[in-house]
Amino acid sequence: IRMQLRFLDSIKSIVEKGSNERKRSFFKFILSVPFWVLVASLVIGTFSVVNIFSILGARKDKSMNEYWQQGTDVRYRHMAVYASGSRSFGLFSPLTYEEAGGSLCVSDITTIRTALQNVSDSSNTSGKGNGLKDGKPQGWEDCYSSILSANVIYSSDVNEDGIKTDLSSDTSVIAVSGNFRAFHPYEYLSGGFLPEDEVDKNQIVINDVLAWTLFKSYDIVGSRITIFNEEFVIVGVVSQSTGKIDELVGNEDPQVFMYFSKLIDVYAGGFFGTSEGMSSSDLAIGCYEAMLPEEVSGVANSDMIAAIPSYTVENNNMYVISCTGRYNLKNIWNQMIPFGAMEEKYANIDFPSWEKASQLTLQYLFYDCVAILMALVLMISAIVSIILRYHARKAIPALDTLVTEEIDESEENKKDF
């Protein structure tokens, strides 16, 4: 019996000793919490800052105004207008004009160009303002585009068995006009972009995804594919994807760039079930972009708004945005708060992939900024806690020492008992 009691006492002693060790470890952990909070805040903050630079580095289109400012004293602002329209049968039909102030058409572009050119000429101190030349801007650049989907077909050569195979792909078609490449710095894998001055309306540029899907090669300048029952010649292959955001918004999907004027011809020819002879004013323009000279900050934004026919700020079918400086902290906050308001307000607009990428970039930057703010709060709290603890050690015995003494005293009392 005595042996059993001694054995039980030994087990009890071991358990109590382990319990005391756990108490010491627990209190030491509590006392070290400010340090670990400080470490965690540094990790979160560092990761968010690195992520911000990574995201902005992938958005090459965010600073195209800086390209135009090189070697001159003129400042430029990149403005964009996104407008709505209607489609007869989904994305495989073109965007058509609805109403003034909500949609844009070719005649509206002429009106906008004239108004912006007048402003540019009036602010030109050299006195060289001569208005539009052949309908094109002088001293600044612009472009416009519209997007739809189409089935692209490539008829391969006859193989050794005498069989000719047709390869096809549902593709996003971006119909462009003006100096489109001035606003979208793509990487060219072969050839170049569509010349601003149209030489052949049946010239097209395709992206690397479509090139590999149809040809398993990027060196395909001069090859031909069929769109809208017409044959087009490829003059360039571009790569658009620069990161995860581009993948999410569809820039890694097959894409074709063609002239807007050719889309007008196809539309007027009745391909989409329309009556022959339909005018260019029946087609809507989804995006208009301008690189405007700006002597006073913010003036270009006001000039653009004033130039748009029948535009009102309350109109949810048209969205005007300054792409220059879009990703600074103030603009990120204004565009994201209240959260989800912009998506709800402009739900009627079919934004192109580059605008979707910009909006998704804003969301990611907003989340990173919130993470950095939280990290700063945690960091300050941890530093204050560490400082207070340091000063408290000088005034009173350290908390961990008091806890240790209390535990040791409790053990001695048990032994005496």
Note the pLDDT of residue 279.
67
| Tens digit of each residue's pLDDT, the chain (417 residues) | 555 455 455 555 554 555 556 555 555 555 567 777 888 899 999 999 999 998 888 887 777 888 778 778 888 999 999 999 999 888 999 999 988 878 999 999 999 999 999 998 887 754 455 788 888 999 899 999 999 999 999 987 655 665 667 889 999 999 999 999 989 888 999 999 999 989 899 999 999 999 999 999 999 999 999 999 999 999 999 998 767 888 888 778 899 999 999 999 999 888 887 655 566 678 999 999 999 998 888 899 999 999 999 888 888 899 999 998 888 888 888 888 888 888 888 888 999 999 998 999 999 999 999 999 999 999 998 888 878 777 766 555 554 555 455 545 555 555 554
Note the pLDDT of residue 88.
87
Amino acid at the residue 142 = D
| Cβ-based burial of 113 (10 A; exposed 0-12, middle 13-18, buried ≥19) | buried
Asked if residue 247 lies in contact with residue 209, where contact means CB atoms within 8 angstroms, the answer is: no
Pairing of strands 203-207, 224-227: unpaired
Nearest to 102 by CA among 320, 321, 391: 320
Note the pLDDT of residue 276.
58
Q: What's the half-sphere exposure (Cβ side, CA atoms, 13 Å) at 212?
A: 9
Note the pLDDT of residue 39.
85
Output phi, psi for 157, to 5 deg: -70, 160
Q: 306: how many CB neighbours lie within 10 A of its CB?
A: 12
Structure tokens at 329: 């902290």
Entry pTM: 0.83
Rounded to 5°, angle at Cα 332 from 48 and 144: 120
List all residues 6 or more positions away from 278 whose beta carbon is below 8 Å from its beta carbon. Answer: 267, 268, 270
Note the pLDDT of residue 250.
78
Note the pLDDT of residue 406.
52
Output phi, psi for 111, to 5 deg: -60, -45
Nearest to 236 by CA among 191, 299, 202: 191
Q: Which residues pair with 84 in a beta bridge?
A: none
* 11 phi-psi bin (left φ>0, alpha ψ -120 to 50, beta other): alpha
Note the pLDDT of residue 7.
47
341-to-284, 345, 347, 383, 390 alpha-carbon distances in Å: 25, 6, 10, 37, 47
Note the pLDDT of residue 416.
54
- How far is residue 240's CA from residue 355's CA, in Å, rounded to a whole number? 13
